[in-house]
A and B are shown apart, each in its own frame.
Chain A
Amino acid sequence: AQSVTQPDIHITVSEGASLELRCNYSYGATPYLFWYVQSPGQGLQLLLKYFSGDTLVQGIKGFEAEFKRSQSSFNLRKPSVHWSDAAEYFCAVARGGGSTLGRLYFGRGTQLTVWP
Chain B
Amino acid sequence: DGGITQSPKYLFRKEGQNVTLSCEQNLNHDAMYWYRQDPGQGLRLIYYSQIVNDFQKGDIAEGYSVSREKKESFPLTVTSAQKNPTAFYLCASKEAGRYEQYFGPGTRLTVT
Contact between A9 and B40, CB atoms less than 8 A apart = yes
Residues of A near B48 (CB, < 8 A) are 103
Residues of A near B88 (CB, < 8 A) are 41
Max count, chain B CB within 10 A of own CB: residue among A32, A103, A108, A109 = A103
Q: Mark B10-44, 1 if CB is under 8 A from A, else 0.
A: 00000000000000000000010000000011110
A103 CB contact (under 8 Å) in B45, B90, B103 = B45
Q: Is A67 an interface residue (CB 8 A)?
A: no
12 contacts across the A-B interface (CB closer than 8 A): A44-B90, A44-B103, A46-B100, A46-B101, A51-B99, A90-B42, A100-B50, A101-B50, A102-B99, A104-B101, A108-B40, A108-B41
Chain A residues with a Cβ under 8 A of chain B = 9, 32, 34, 36, 41-46, 49, 51, 90, 94, 96, 100-104, 106-109
